[in-house]
Amino acid sequence: MSAKDKAKAKAEQAKGKLKETTGKVTRDRSMEAEGRAEKAKGDVREAADKGRDTLKRKRGR
C-alpha cells in the first residue's frame, strides 16, 4: 500500500469516527449513520490496499 493510499484511508476513517461521535453527542442520527458509513468506506479501502500488497508480495516470490 502506498503511503498516499494509506493516509487517505486513515483520514477517511478518522473523519468518519469524528462524524459518528459528533452525531452521538448531538443526538443527530443521520450524522451518526453518515459517520459510520464513511468509517466503513475507509476500512474497506484499507483492506483492499492490504490485499493488493499481499498479492504483489506473493507474485514476487
Q: What is the pLDDT of residue 61?
A: 58
pLDDT tier at 56 (50, 70, 90 boundaries)? confident
Q: What is the pTM of this model?
A: 0.79
Q: What is the pLDDT of residue 29?
A: 97
The grid coordinates listed for 44 are 474497506
In three-state form (DSSP H/G/I as H, E/B as E, the rest C), the secondary structure along the chain is CCHHHHHHHHHHHHHHHHHHHHHHHHCCHHHHHHHHHHHHHHHHHHHHHHHHHHHHHHHHC
Q: What is the pLDDT of residue 19?
A: 97
Q: What number of other Cβ atoms are within 10 A of residue 52's Cβ?
A: 13
